[in-house]
Chains A and B, each alone.
Chain A
């Protein structure tokens, strides 16, 4: 099992450019999430999904879109990058519903810089 994979690891964008951060998991987890990590802020939830075809907004969704067409993939799209979106982005997945579960498996992160 590869677990949760994210690509790219690093990315530099110019203001106004768009891009997609890729996230994939091979554990057949129902639940997937995107977080951003900023200095002194911890991790904050951007969007999440409770299964294929179902997504919802987290704490800081503005400027980001997601979709979940398959169980495995949960891409995060930046529509028009802004310097305020400079951050480290983490994708996570978890198996839902099982008693004693709830552990989140995190990808390695993507460091995004918007100039």
Chain B
């Protein structure tokens, strides 16, 4: 079974600074997707960024980028120029290609942003 590990339960960053959230996963498959989801206090799950395992290039979305290390099974999220609105819980998730309904989530990390 696949597992996703987020070892840091909480992190804090100064506004306008950069922060990196860590995630590792375990799988024997070669074709899969990785995601970072943001959950603000509203509880809504918001997709931040997606990475296809077959792509070597790291995904970027504006201030959000990932460092995808397939051999090391590592998938960290970098948030640049942190804003107060980035404060939320962040979940790393894994999806085996073809198993479209079955996301495996990490336990999440709570990010706070200091003004």
- Please list the residues of chain A having a beta carbon within 8 angstroms of any beta carbon in chain B: 30-33, 35, 40-45, 48-50, 58, 88, 90, 92, 94, 96-97, 100, 102-104, 106, 108-109, 111
Contacts and interface: CB of A to CB of B under 8 A. Distances in A.
A50 B105 contact: no
B101 A94 contact: yes
Contacts of B47: 103-104
Main secondary structure of the interface of A (DSSP, over half): strand
Output the residue of A45, A48, A96, A104 with the most chain B CB within 10 A: A104
Chain B, interface size category, equals 20 to 34
A44 B45 contact: no
Interface of B: 4, 6, 9, 33, 35, 43-45, 47, 50, 52, 91, 93, 95, 97, 100-108
Contact of B43 (A45, A97, A100, A109): A109
24 contacts: A30-B100, A31-B101, A41-B107, A42-B4, A42-B91, A42-B107, A42-B108, A43-B91, A45-B101, A45-B102, A45-B104, A49-B101, A50-B101, A58-B102, A88-B43, A92-B45, A94-B101, A96-B100, A102-B33, A104-B47, A104-B103, A106-B44, A108-B43, A108-B44
